[in-house]
Structure 1
Amino acid sequence: MPSEPLSQKEIEDRLRELPGWSFEDDRIQRTYRLGSHRAAGAFVAHVCVVQDELNHHSDLTLGYDTVRLAVNSHDAGGRVTDKDFALAERVQALAPAHGAH
């Protein structure tokens, strides 16, 4: 069953609970900065585990000391849903353990 897209207001309200995240191009997204390339790679690996657990995957970009996530739900026509926020919340919770800010 397809996910239900969130309204613009619902997205804005939920983003208030996720500092650093924004809504652009029909996706919620955030870039994290880490202390080194190795730290960024470890963070990406941890995010991949979470994505597999949730069976929901973002566009994930590894830079030298940055990691960028951008996510929406394909089964909702490329719109933002609860599943996207569930992933963002999990990533936000694990970021401090990696020194990501």
Structure 2
Amino acid sequence: MDKLSEEDIEKRLLHFPDWEYYDQALHAEFEFENFKDCFSAMSRIAFECEALNHHPDWSNTYNILKISLSTHDVKDVTHKDFILAKAIDAIVIPEDE
């Protein structure tokens, strides 16, 4: 998979308002009501990651989930990262937003 140009990444990010591009990765931070809700979202995201065979760098502190996406083979962002970002957004962002 080829890495995307910075221009292409910025253009795609217009559809992902919770994500930013820096340090050759997509980054987002999500806040949940409590630890249980955060961990539940992480579990659901894990299934998507396995299905896509693409895994984030992430951390969790109580109700905060921080995620970084990059394609390790190319050391930057590819289309695959946006596919996973879309799946993550579908899990963590309420439909009424």
TM-score of the pair, normalised by structure 1: 0.89
1:10-58 Cα shifts (integer Å, max 9, x gaps): 0000011001100011100100000001111111111111100100000
Aligned to 2:78: 81
* Structure richer in helix, relative to its length: 1
1:50-81 Cα shifts (integer Å, max 9, x gaps): 100100000011111111110111121x1100
Give the counterpart letter for 1:66 in structure 2.
Answer: I
Aligned to 2:62: 64
- After TM superposition, what 4+ stretches of structure 1 lie above 3 angstroms from structure 2? none
Give the counterpart letter for 1:67 in structure 2.
Answer: L
Aligned to 1:7: 5
Identity of aligned residues (%): 26
RMSD: 1.3
Mapped to 1, the partners of 2:2 and 2:52 lie a distance apart of 17
TM-score of the pair, normalised by structure 2: 0.93
Mapped to 2, the partners of 1:43 and 1:93 lie a distance apart of 10
Give the counterpart letter for 2:7 in structure 1.
Answer: K
Is there any run of 5+ residues in structure 1 with no aligned partner, and where? none
1:96 Cα offset (Å): 3.0
Mapped to 2, the partners of 1:27 and 1:75 lie a distance apart of 13
Tell me the number of residue pairs that the alignment of Structure 1 and Structure 2 aligns.
Answer: 95
* Residue 95 (str. 1) matches residue 53 (str. 2): no
